Amino acid sequence: MSIFSQPGFDNHEAVHAFCLPEADLRGFIAIHSTALGPAFGGCRVWTYADDGEALTDALRLSQGMSYKNALAELPYGGGKAVIMRGTRSNADDALFEAYGRVVDGLGGRYITAEDVGTSVENMRSVAKFTDYVSGIPKDDGYRGGDPSPVTALGVFEGMKAAIGHRFRTADLRDMRVAVQGIGHVGYHLCNLLHEAGAKLIVSDINTANTDRAVEAFSATPVPIEDVLKADADVLAPCALGGILNVDTIGSLKARVVAGAANNQLAAKTDGNLLAVSGITYAPDYVINAGGIISVAAERDPQATKERVLNAVMRIGERTEKILRRAHDENASPSEMADQMAREAIAKAKAQSAREAA
Ligand code: NAD
Q: Is 253 annotated as catalytic?
A: no
Q: Is 262 in the pocket of ligand 1 (CB under 6 A)?
A: yes
Q: Tell me the range of 109-113, 168-172, 307-311 where mean pLDDT is highest.
A: 109-113
Residue nearest to atom 42 of ligand 1 (CA): 291
Per-residue pLDDT reduced to its tens digit, 249-263: 999 999 999 999 998
Ligand 1 center to residue 92 CA distance, Å?
Answer: 23
* Confidence band for 143, pLDDT divided at 50, 70 and 90: low
Give the pLDDT confidence score for residue 78 in this predicted structure: 98
Contact between residue 128 and residue 287 where contact means Cβ atoms under 8 Å apart: no
Ligand 1 center to residue 357 CA distance, Å?
Answer: 46
Instruction: Report the distance separating Cα 188 and Cα 162, nearest Å.
Output: 19
For residue 182, which atom of ligand 1 is closest to its CA?
9
Tell me the C-alpha to C-alpha distance, in Å, between residue 20 and each of 95, 281, 307: 9, 42, 40
Average pLDDT over residues 223-244: 96
- β-bridge pairing 25-33 and 77-84: antiparallel
Give the pLDDT confidence score for residue 355 in this predicted structure: 84
Single-letter residue type at 306: E
Per-residue pLDDT reduced to its tens digit, 250-305: 999 999 999 999 989 999 999 999 999 999 999 999 999 999 999 999 999 888 88
Residue nearest to atom 29 of ligand 1 (CA): 261
Instruction: Report the distance separating Cα 41 and Cα 54, nearest Å.
Output: 16
Which is more confident, 5 or 352?
Answer: 5
Instruction: Report the distance separating Cα 18 and Cα 219, nearest Å.
Output: 47
Choose among 229, 226, 182: nearest CA to 207.
Answer: 182
Average pLDDT over residues 168-182: 94
Q: What is the mean pLDDT of the chain?
A: 94
Per-residue pLDDT reduced to its tens digit, 31-40: 999 999 999 9
Instruction: Decide which of 3.40.50.10880, 3.40.50.300, 2.60.120.10, 3.40.50.720 is the CATH code for 148-289+316-342.
Output: 3.40.50.720
Q: Is 119 in the pocket of ligand 1 (CB under 6 A)?
A: no
Choose among 110, 113, 39: nearest CA to 77.
Answer: 39
Q: Do the first three CATH levels of 3-66+76-127 and 148-289+316-342 match, i.e. the same topology? A: yes
Q: Is 184 in the pocket of ligand 1 (CB under 6 A)?
A: yes
Residue 278 neighbours by CB under 8 Å, 6+ apart:
255
Ligand 1 center to residue 186 CA distance, Å?
Answer: 7
Ligand 1 center to residue 262 CA distance, Å?
Answer: 9
Per-residue pLDDT reduced to its tens digit, 180-224: 999 999 999 999 999 999 999 999 999 999 999 999 999 999 999
Query: What is the domain partition of the chain in residue ranges?
Result: 3-66+76-127, 148-289+316-342
Q: Is 203 in the pocket of ligand 1 (CB under 6 A)?
A: yes
Sheet of strand 199-203: strand arrangement:
220-221, 199-203, 176-180, 234-237, 256-257, 280-281
Q: Is 181 in the pocket of ligand 1 (CB under 6 A)?
A: yes
Ligand 1 center to residue 167 CA distance, Å?
Answer: 27
Give the pLDDT confidence score for residue 345 in this predicted structure: 94
Q: What percent of the chain has pLDDT over 70?
A: 97
Q: What percent of the chain has pLDDT over 90?
A: 82
Instruction: Decide which of 3.40.50.2300, 3.40.50.10860, 3.40.50.880, 3.40.50.300 is the CATH code for 3-66+76-127.
Output: 3.40.50.10860
Q: Is 206 in the pocket of ligand 1 (CB under 6 A)?
A: yes
Contact between residue 239 and residue 257 where contact means Cβ atoms under 8 Å apart: no
Q: What pTM was estimated for this model as a whole?
A: 0.92
